[in-house]
Amino acid sequence: MSTTTSIPASRPRRERNLLLAGAAVGLAYGFGLRLIGLIPRASTVMTAGFIVLMPVGVGFVTIYLAEVRQRQKIWVWFILPWLPMAGALLGTMLAVLEGFICVVLFSPLALILASLGGAMGGIAGRLIRQRRAQNLTLACVLILPLFTMTWEKPVFYQQDFRRVENVIDIQAPPAIIWKNIERVPPIRTEEIPDSWSRRIGFPDPIEATLSHEGLGGVRNASFERGLRFIETVDVWEPEQRLGFSISAESVPATTLDEHVRVGGPYFDVLHGEYRLESLGNGVTRLHLSSRHRLSTDFNWYAHLWTDALMSDLQQRILVVIRRRCERQTKGRFE
């Protein structure tokens, strides 16, 4: 009786151990590739080889090592790679190799690609039965990210200039709105609407001062945690348009991760502009647009996040302006 009951009990345990072993190797592989980025001049993190092939490799090795030893369920191919991928991302945060913002921005793509790698590993594990071919396949997948990092930049690197615009309708005349955009008095915490960008750690705006009215006036825009920008007015059309070039004055290393730092090698905000459009009946449509630079080997993915971050920030600023202007307009008639 004891022998009969131990057989079915040992099989699930063996299968679980195989999956855990594969996940452990996958985690070590992903975290190890990130550690290589610490080597001077070994710029591995902001490359397509790391961003794309590292998660694929994590998923592949996790499933492949288990599949060649025991046939796995199809759903395991897609779901199990999330475990080592999430573990590697968490490990980089705990080791202070990446900030929370970077991990959040990377996670959706990483998990999808890890599942893709898991499916590839499952298929390869079932089709390739010769031991030498199995070892060669595994080795090729593991070194592929490092191989592509050595030549990809001339091929994939792009510098894109992107424009993001938000609009909001305000029950206030252009004169009142203009006074609230040429200078922005200190913003109280309760004035700023909550949003996903705030929750992942992007600093809130505080205020914007203006040295003098007209072209050449300098706005000092302050954000939380010491983030400051110099904004030089280059468009001045009272109650119609206000434009300014933007230069990062102070970006403390503790405020934003180096990979998303404004004014850094990968991302910069270059210009901002307000435009007022009278709709009649006391309603004014306020446009807020910005132009930013994006310089990576994977702009096709990065721009989704930079556009979303800029749009979210701009919308929050517009909400603050609308609330202030409508309150001031209402006060004029009471």
CATH number of the domain bearing residue 246: 3.30.530.20
Residue 43 confidence (pLDDT): 56
Q: Pick from 138, 155, 172: which residue ends a domain?
A: 155
Find out whether 311 and 187 touch, Cβ atoms under 8 Å.
no
Residues 161 and 282 in one domain: yes
CB 283 within 8 A of CB 171: yes
For residues 166 and 127, state if they share a domain: no
Averaged pLDDT, groups of 10, the chain, 334 residues long: 47 74 81 69 72 91 88 91 91 82 92 95 90 89 82 86 98 96 93 91 93 96 93 97 93 78 91 96 96 94 95 96 94 61
* Euclidean distance between CA atoms 73 and 77, whole angstroms: 7
**pLDDT for residue 294:** 96
Domain boundary among 116, 133, 155: 155
Strand positions, DSSP E, the chain = 158-170, 205-210, 218-223, 228-237, 241-250, 267-280, 283-296
Range of the domain at 234: 157-332
Q: Which of 68, 81, 72, 82 is nearest to 12 (CA)?
A: 72
Residue listed under structure tokens 């705030």: 198
Per-residue CA distances from 194 to 103, 290, 317 (Å): 21, 21, 11
Same domain, 89 and 225: no
Is 171 found in the same domain as 150? no
Is 110 in the same domain as 251?
no
* Same-domain check for residues 135 and 205: no
The whole-angstrom distance between residue 154's C-alpha and the CA centroid of its chain comes to 23
Place of tokens 């090795």: 61
What pTM value is reported for the model?
0.85
Residues 145, 252, single domain; the answer is no
Q: What's the gap between Cα 304 and its chain centre?
A: 8
The token pair that represents 249 in the structure block: 């004055």
Query: Based on the domain organization, do 142 and 203 belong to the same domain?
Result: no
User: In sequence order, which residues have a C-beta less than 8 Å from that of residue 8 and are 6 or more positions away?
Assistant: none
The length of the chain in residues reads 334
Looking at residue 3, its pLDDT comes to 45
* Number of domains into which the chain is organized: 2
Q: Is the Cβ–Cβ distance between 271 and 241 less than 8 Å?
A: no
Burial (Cβ within 10 Å: 0-12, 13-18, ≥19) of residue 264: middle
Q: Which two tokens stand for residue 172?
A: 């206030």
Query: Residue 257 is encoded by which pair of tokens?
Result: 């991760």
Beta bridge partners of 161: 293
End of a domain among 111, 138, 155?
155
- The verdict on 230 and 125 lying in the same domain is no
Q: In this predicted structure, what is the pLDDT of residue 318? A: 97
Q: For residue 29, what pLDDT is reported? A: 82
The pLDDT value recorded for residue 10 is 65
DSSP state of 89: H
Residue 21, pLDDT score: 79
Same domain, residue pair 162 and 150: no
- Same domain, residue pair 168 and 147: no
Is residue 216 located within the same domain as residue 127? no
Beta strands in 26-68 (DSSP E): none
Q: What is the pLDDT of residue 332?
A: 65
